[in-house]
Structure 1
Amino acid sequence: MARTLPDTDGVELPRTLMLHGLRPLARFLIRRRFGVRVHNADLVPATGPVIVASNHVGVVDGPLLAIFGPRPVHALTKVEMFEGRLGGFLRGAGQIPLNRFAADPSAMKACLAVLRDGRAAGVFPEGTRGPGDFRRFHAGAAYLGLVSGAPIVPVSMIGTREPGAGSNALPPRGSTVDIVYGEPYRFEQTPWPRTREQVRHSALLLREHMIARLDEALALTGRQLPGPLPVGQQNIDDDPHTGVVEQGA
C-alpha cells in the first residue's frame, strides 16, 4: 500500500511518546471516576493501517478513543482545540488538527502519513458533538478509505453524555461508558482522480454500514443514545453545513 498512497514526503508524523506512554495512567485515573467497558476490540486489526470512525456524543469521546482503544489512535481534532496549553498537550499526544470549515489537505496528508506508517487514524464523521446517530455524516473517513484501501472500523460511543446534558458535560461519577467496535468496512483502493460524486456515494455506503453497527451496539448494551443537545446548545460547535444527510441516503 505504501507505494500507491499519494505523496506524503515531508509530512511530519504525529508524535507517539505521550500517546503510548500515558495510556495506562490515563485509564487508571478515568476509571476512578466512571467505568469503561470495551466490546469487540478484536475487530480492530492488530497490525497495519486502520481507520477508526466513531460517532460523537460527548466531550470525552476523543480521549476515550485514544486511551482505551486496542491501538493508540491519531484522531482528527478540530483546530480550535489546539489553542493555548491544551494544544501543546494534544500535539504531544499525537492528535491531528483539522480545519472543519475549509479544505484541509495538511490534515488529510497527516492521516495518510499515519496510515502509510501502519498506524491507526481516527475520524468523527459527524464533525461535532450531538445525538450520535449519524444524522449528518462528513466524507473524510470514506475519502481516507478510498485513497488508502485501509479497513474502516466503526465505533459506537454510548454513555459519554447523559440525556439533557450539555456539549461539554462529563459522564456522571460512577456511571459506565460503553465503547463498542463493529465489523470493519473496506473500500477498494481507488487511484486518482476520485470525483466528488464518487466520494459522496462512498460516504453514503459507509454511513449505512455505521448506522447498522450502531444499532447492533445499542442492542448489545441495552442502552440508548442521549438524544439532541439542550435547546440553545445545538449549534454550540458551529458545525459546517456540509456532508451527506439522511435525505441524501
Structure 2
Amino acid sequence: MTKVYDLNGKNVQDVELPPCFTTEYRPDLIAKAVVVSRANRRQPYGTKKDAGHYVAESFGPGRGMSRIPRLSSGRAAFAPGTVKGRRAHPPKAEKVWHRKLNRKEMRLAKLSALAATVDEEIVRQRGHVFDAELPVIVEEAFENLTKTKEVLTVIEKIGLAGDIERAKNGKHVRAGRGKMRGRKYKVPKSLLIVVSDPERVRRAAGNLPGVDVVGVDDINVEYLAPGGHAGRLTLYTLNALQMIGEKYGPV
C-alpha cells in the first residue's frame, strides 16, 4: 500500500499501485525509445542546391595550370576545395530522419520508465534530491491549484523542494551555437507532475525551474526519462493514478 498526501503533506489514506508499476526495469529499451522519439521530432534541413555554384569552367590543358574551374580573372571557383566553392557532400533536405520502433517495444519502454519513477534507488541515481517517500501521490485537490506559490508550498510540505532548488542552481549558459539561437540557458530536469487535467496546474507550476506538468494521455518516454535516463522524480495526483491503472491495466 502507498500513502496519499493532502495539501498539508499529511497522510490521509493508503492506496494500492496499479500493476503497471511493477514492470521490469529495461534501461536499454527506454534509451532506444527516447532516441526514436527525438529523431521523429527533428526538422529536415539542407543547403540550397545551387549554393557555391559560380559561372566557372576549366581553361583546359596547355596553360601550365590545373584544370580546376576558374572565373575569367583566373581565380579558382566552384570546386569544393576553392574559396567560396560548393560543399562536396552538403546536408540534404531529402534525408530521412524518421525512425521506427515496434509497438510492443514502445509500450514496454513506457511502462518500464513509469515503474522506474517509484524506485527510490533509480531516482536517486539520476541525481534528484528529495526527502519524501516514493511514490509521491497527492489528493485530487492539487489539480485545482492556480498559483505558483500554492504549488510550491505543497511541494515543500511533501519534501520535494530540494530538487527544485537543485534545478534552479544548475541553470547555466549552453555551450555552442545554441546560445545565439534563442536557447541560451540549459536547466536540469526536475519534478514531473502527472495530473488528469493539466490546464490549471500547468499555469501554476510551469514556471518552476525544471518542472514539467503533463496529463495522463500525454505521458511519453521523454517525460519519464529525459535524455534516455530513467528514474525521474514524479508526483502523481490520485485521479491520475487511477487513470493510469485503467489505461495500462495489467502488464
The structure with more radius of gyration: 2
Higher share in strand = 1
